[in-house]
Amino acid sequence: MPTYTDDYIKSILRSTKVIAMVGASGNEMRPSYFAMKYLLAKGFVIHPINPGMAGQKILGQTVYAALEDVPAPVDMVDIFRASEAAPGIVQEALAEKDRLGLKTVWMQLSVISEEAAEMARAAGLNVVMDRCPKIEYGRLSGEIGWMGVSRGVIDNRKPLLFGKGGSLKRG
């Protein structure tokens, strides 16, 4: 199972402004929908990618058919598809890497592909597998603790991991 330091995850989240979410769904019961909703609320720009919904809107954002259709810049490609699809998605991302200014390939919970990860790393990209940026943002900003999930620390202060009041400051 891949492991990542908190500093590594924080550095990615701090430097990310625009995310292309491959496998975004318009179904409000799907994890990609509520991850997208949360990340939009935190100030990220999200470009949903779903060929079956191209030209429609999810949470007010125009849906694209493929990475090649997404306007630049894009800092992160977030993969909400099965692990078997990840290498092909990374190949598409690498074909658009320079145009988009891509820095990170992020594979969601249970999405693990060493092949895709190695392709992305070989191209100089940051890689995260089997994690959710929504959960990581909440965990590292302390929001999960504020909402009743135990951080294992008794404290009456909000953590200042990202900046004043626990908010994420991106550069």
Residue 100 lies in a domain: yes
- The pLDDT of 34-39, averaged and rounded, is 96
- The pLDDT of 40-65, averaged and rounded, is 98
Residue 160 lies in a domain: no
Residue 21 lies in a domain: yes
Provide the domain count of the chain: 1
Summary mean pLDDT of the chain:
89
Residue 142 lies in a domain: no
- Return the pLDDT at 1: 62
Residue 77 lies in a domain: yes
Question: Can you give the pTM of this predicted structure?
Answer: 0.85
- The pLDDT of 39-65, averaged and rounded, is 98
Residue 115 lies in a domain: yes
Q: Give the burial class of 150: count Cβ atoms within 10 A of its Cβ; 0-12 exposed, 13-18 middle, 19 or more buried.
A: exposed
Report, in this order, helix, strand and coil percent for the chain, each rounded to 5.
40, 15, 45
Residue 170 in this model has a pLDDT that exceeds 60: no
List the one residue out of 137, 145, 107, 143 whose CA is nearest residue 125: 107
- Return the pLDDT at 168: 57
CATH code of the domain in which 17 resides: 3.40.50.720
Question: Which single residue is written with the structure tokens 């924080």?
Answer: 10
Residue 147 lies in a domain: no
Residue 43 in this model has a pLDDT that exceeds 80: yes
Rounded percentage of the chain residues whose pLDDT exceeds 70: 83
Q: Please, what sign has the CA dihedral across residues 80, 127, 5, 36?
A: negative
Region label for 144, one of left (φ > 0), alpha (ψ between -120 and 50) or beta (otherwise): alpha
- The pLDDT of 87-95, averaged and rounded, is 98
- Return the pLDDT at 146: 52
Please check whether residue 86 is in contact with residue 113, taking contact to mean a CB–CB distance below 8 angstroms. Answer: yes
Where helices occur in the chain by DSSP H, the ranges are 6-15, 31-41, 86-100, 114-122, 133-141, 143-146
Residue 84 lies in a domain: yes
For 95-135, how does the pLDDT look when each residue is reduced to its tens digit (9 = 90+)? 999 999 999 999 999 999 999 999 999 999 999 999 999 99
What is the rounded CA–CA span in Å between residue 31 and residue 73? 25
Which domain range does residue 49 map to? 6-132
- Return the pLDDT at 156: 52
